[in-house]
Chain A
Amino acid sequence: MTTLEIRAELSGIINKIHCELGTTVAAGDHIATLEAMKLEVPIESSTTGTLLSLHISPGEMVEEGQLLAILTL
C-alpha cells in the first residue's frame, strides 16, 4: 500500500476539515483549511487518493511540518 503524508506548510490553526475518513480526493481538493494571521490557507491534496487517517481537529494549532493526514494512493 502506497501512502502519502500531508504536512503543514506553515504554522496555523485548523479552522475547518472538509473530508471524512475514507473519502476519495483528487489532486487540488481541499482536505482542510488552516488559518494564520487572518489568512485562510487551503490544505490541498497533491494527488488522487483515499483519506486513510486524519491527525487534526478543528481549532487545533499545528506547527510547520506537522503531520496532518495520510492518503492511500
Chain B
Amino acid sequence: MKRLLIANRGEIACRIIRACKTMGIESIAIYSEADKNALHATLADYAICVGAAPVNESYLNIDAILKAAQLTHANAIHPGYGFLSENASFARAVQNAGLLWIGPHADTIEKMGDKAYARALALDAGIPVLPGSIRIETDSELDPFTLANNIGYPLLVKATGGGGGMGMKQVNQPEELTSAITSAQAIAAKSFGENAVFLEKFIPHARHIEVQIFGYGNGDAIHLYERDCSIQRRFQKVLEESPAPNISNATRQRMAAAAVKLAAHQRYAGPGTVEFIFDTQTDAFYFLEMNTRIQVEHPVTEMVTCVDLVRWQIEQALGTLTKTSQSQIATHGVAIECRLYAENPAKHYMPSTGKLERFSFPAPSQSLRVETGYRQGDVITPYYDPMIAKLICWAEDRQEAIHSMLKALRATCISGPKTNLPLLINILSEHTFMQGETHTAFLHNNPSLLIESSTTTTHMENQ
C-alpha cells in the first residue's frame, strides 16, 4: 500500500493521517466544499473535494468518494468512525473497485448493524443478552402488548438499524407502547431506510461498559480491557475512562472473555467494541451491541495499554501485523477522555455554531493527548457532528487522572460557539463521580451540573 484515502473529516481524519505519516504511507484527505480549509485537508499529502457541504452530497456520497480514490490513485480506504464506517455496501463497493478496505468483512458489518440480529448472534455465542423481542415490522401481526408483557416494563423500543440513540424510545407503562413503536418506526424508516424495531428490557440503574477487542480474522481474538462510558447525554457519550471504576477484577475478566468469545465466533478482523449494559444493582452484564469500527474513545485504551490501534488496523490490512497474544496485553494506570461538544448544556444541549475566536489547549505530552480537527479561527458549521475536540489524560491512579484532566480543561480556552467545557469541569469535580459512581442517568440526575457555575465562569474569564 502506498496511498491511503481517509473517507472522513475532523479529528479522526487527522489521527489517521498522523498514523500514515509515521508509517511512511501517503495520505489522501477528502473534503466537502464547507471543509476546503479544514485541518484534515491541510495535513494530508493530497486533498480532494467530494461535493457540497451536506453529508449526503459529500462524506456519505459513495460514488464521489470512489471516484476521488480513483483520481488520486489510492490503494486503500480507511473509513474512520461514523459516516460510512459501518456501511456494508460501501465496504463492498471499495473492494469491488479493487481497493483495500480497512475494516472488518462487509458481511460482519451487515450482521452487527442489525441490532436485533446481533442480539441473536450474541445469544448463539453464549453471551448474556437483555430480555427482548424479535423484530416488529410496520405490517407485523405480532401483538406488541404480549411481547412487552413477557419482557416487563420499563422497556426500550429500538430501531434494528439504529445507532447513537436515534429511534430509541423509553416506555414505562403499556399506555405509552403503541405511540412509542409508531414514532420509533417513523424515525427508523427515515434515518436507516427500514422501519423494523424491537423491544428490549430497560435497566434503570445501569452503567455502559464496553470491551475493546482486536480480531485476527481466523477465529483468534484478544481483548484490550474495558472502558466505562456511562456519562452520556441523549444516549451519546460525553466522558469515557479505563479501567471501569468500582468493578471487581473477576467481573472485568468475565466481560472481556464474553467479548472475545463473540469476536472469535464471528471470525472478526480488526479493532471492534462489544458494548454491555451493566446492572449496578445485581452486577450482571448484558450484550448491547457490537461496533465494527475504530471508536471515538479508542485513545483511552491506547493510553492504558500502549497499543496503537490505528497502526494495528492499517498493518493488518497490509498483512504486516505481528500477532500479539493476550498475555502480552497489560493495562497500566488510568486514562480518561472528555469530549468537547459545540453545544449549550443549559439549553437542552442545543447545537452551537460560529467562529472559534479562541481555541487553545495545554501542550500535549506523554500523559495528555489533544485530538481535534479544528484550529483557532475555524468556523463550526451546522453540517457536521458537534464534537470539536477530545482530551485524553493518563495518570497512575484515578484520582490523579481526574486532577490532571481538570487541570487540562482549566487551561483550555474556547470562545465563539458555546461548548460543554464548563459541564466537563463540573462532572469531574462532582463528589459521586470522584467516588467512581458512574451510571447512565448521571447527567439527568445532576441537572445542576449543566449550569455554568460562577467559579468556572470566573476562572475562564481569567484565562
Contact = CB atoms under 8 A, between A and B. Distances in A.
Contacts of A11: 353-354, 382
B318 interface: no
Nearest to A39: B351
A9 B353 CA distance: 12
A13 B350 contact: no
Interface residues of A, number: 14
A67 interface: no
Interface string B381-399: 0111110000000000000
A41 interface: yes
Interface in A21-73: 35-39, 41, 59, 61, 64
Contact of B384 (A37, A41, A59, A64): A37
Contacts, number: 38
B352 interface: yes
**Most chain B beta-carbon contacts within 10 A, residue among A36, A59, A61, A64:** A36
A18 B389 CA distance: 35
Interface in B355-390: 382-386
A10 B351 contact: yes
B54 A37 contact: no
B383 A13 contact: yes
B76 to A, nearest CB: 27
A13 to B, nearest CB: 6
Nearest to A9: B350
B226 interface: no
Nearest to A41: B350
A38 B342 CA distance: 12
Contacts of A61: 382
B159 to A, nearest CB: 15
A37 B358 CA distance: 21
Nearest to B166: A38
30 contacts: A9-B350, A10-B350, A10-B351, A10-B352, A10-B353, A11-B354, A11-B382, A12-B353, A12-B382, A13-B54, A13-B382, A13-B383, A35-B382, A36-B353, A36-B382, A37-B342, A37-B343, A37-B353, A37-B382, A37-B383, A37-B384, A37-B385, A38-B164, A38-B384, A38-B385, A39-B351, A41-B350, A59-B54, A61-B382, A64-B353
Q: Give me the 3 closest cross-chain CB pairs, A-B, nearest first.
A: A36-B382, A37-B351, A36-B351
